[in-house]
Structure 1
């Protein structure tokens, strides 16, 4: 009967490890609020321009609504930008 207790503890430890790994993986998806450093490389008529570096502060509200935050309507005119899930 002692081995049953050992198996139970191992099963509990394994379950806890799996839940921890899943939680870490879920936290890795998406953006976190805070200051982000960006690099944009424009391409106009096939000619690649110099990289443009900048920073952007994302609030928790902005991170919660990425479609609005990165909407081409609010930043550019006549843009064909689309959000692509990678």
Structure 2
């Protein structure tokens, strides 16, 4: 069994808000750059997660009248990324 990724208790090293018309993956890349990750040196995002599914999740949340929130924590590029409907945070 693999350990699940959890939201760290420490403050993030980077945080970006997700614009109303922005895809989650675009915000994730902005957060990675703000965390000083060299995106030319890391493997492709599509090799690690289903980026289309991430974008659809955020799009579905924006269209729905659901009261619930979502939080997705994923380990990418030796960092933990936390995606919420309004922001992406990066943790070491």
Scaled by the length of structure 2, the TM-score of the pair is 0.23
Which structure is richer in relative contact order (CA contacts within 8 A, separation 6 or more)?
2
Tell me which structure has the larger Cα radius of gyration.
1
TM-score of the aligned structures, taking structure 1 as reference length:
0.24
Greater per-residue helix proportion: 1
